[in-house]
Structure 1
Amino acid sequence: MSTSQAYTVDVRRLDAFSALELYAMLKLRVDVFVVEQDCPYPELDGNDVDCLHLRLMDGNALLACARVWRPSADVLPRIGRVAVSPDHRGKKLGEALMREAIIACEHEYPGEAIEISAQSHLQRFYGSLGFAATSEEYVEDGIPHVDMIRSAP
């Protein structure tokens, strides 16, 4: 765990979380992706077991979370499930979380590009972090998305 300004960064595999830590992270994701975005889909998709999970914390309070993983050997590493608590938006935590996720991804998969499936309205934000669109817009779970890749360092 590293410390940075008003939050700490925590990067772990799923089995390293306590039940309460895991519950808080999954609850945030469901609150944001399923409830807030009115998008009923299977949030628990089976991928979490093989991911690195990142959390931005303020003491015991979860501010934001994301995951890093490679779905299979023939695809690029991915960053996904990027969520910032509604109570902590507007503090540039999404940017901080993505920067930490990029570092974790580069450490776990050195020399490789990183792929994301970005909600279309966030394309400019992800572009500011070095990602470039690689697909036309498509609809996933009722929300416009675009695939983006950040070239290998």
Structure 2
Amino acid sequence: MTVEVRVTEDLAACLALRRTVFIEEQGVPEADEVDDLDGEAVHLLAFVDGVPMGSARLLRSGETGKIGRVCVLASARGSGLGVALMEKALAVLAADPALRRAKLGAQTHALGFYERLGFVAEGPEYLDAGIPHRDMVRPLR
């Protein structure tokens, strides 16, 4: 199995993956999933043997790099693809000297996954698209 994660301009592929995971699998309303931030984001695609299986988007706000819309198709979960996707996201953000920390909104069932990558939960639990989340942060350096 060959895993590759790269920055992409292929927004259609990212949106297709997000539709499968968030809208179809998790029941997130399309109006909550698709927003007008995609145009300013850096998008990542994660491939298994050349087939897109995961994506994420990166946004910048001051000294914070926001990692969002992280998704991996069910058939690729547990394969290490999510870790590779997050490592690439962190590397892209860390390459920007103006950014000091990474932040994300984690679905509460995935807190352990992000903790293993060095993220720490902060603030209270909240609902996003009807799904419990917590904000998580970690330094980039």
Same fold (TM over 0.5): yes
Q: How far off its partner does 1:9 sit?
A: 2.1
Identify the match of residue 136 of structure 2 among 115, 132, 148.
148
Distance 1:60 1:124 in 2: 28
Give the corresponding residue for 1:51.
Answer: 41
1:139 to 119, 127, 137: 127
Aligned equivalent of 1:83: 71
Equivalent pairs counted in the alignment come to: 140
> Normalized per residue, which structure has more strand?
2
1:6–1:60 Cα change, 3 Å: closer
Following TM superposition, by how much is the alpha carbon of 1:110 offset from its aligned partner in structure 2, in angstroms?
4.6
TM-superposed CA distance for 1:60, in Å, is: 4.3
- Are positions 1:116 and 2:104 aligned together? yes
% same residue? 37
Equivalent pair of 2:28/2:129 in contact (CA under 8 Å): yes
SS for the counterpart of 1:77 is strand
Partner of 1:32: 21
Question: Matched residue of 2:111: which SS?
Answer: helix
Q: Deviations over 1:3-37 (max 9, x none)?
A: xx71222213xxx33xxxx3222111011011100
Using the TM superposition, give the Cα deviation of residue 39 of structure 1 relative to its aligned residue in structure 2, in angstroms: 1.6
Could you list the runs of 5+ residues in structure 2 that have no partner in the other structure? none
| TM superposition shift of 1:109 | 4.9
Taking the TM superposition and a 5 Å limit, the aligned residue runs for 1:53-68 are 53-58=43-48, 60-68=50-58
SS where residue 27 of structure 2 aligns?
coil
CA distance in 1, matches of 2:48, 2:76: 11
CA RMSD of aligned residues (A): 1.8
Q: Which of structures 1 and 2 has the larger relative contact order (alpha carbons within 8 angstroms, sep 6+)? A: 2
Tell me the secondary structure at the aligned position of residue 13 of structure 2: helix
Q: Which runs of 4+ in 1 moved over 4 A?
A: none
Note if contact 2:99-2:140 (Cα within 8 Å) is conserved in structure 1.
Answer: yes
Consecutive unaligned residues of structure 1, counting only runs of 5 or more, are none
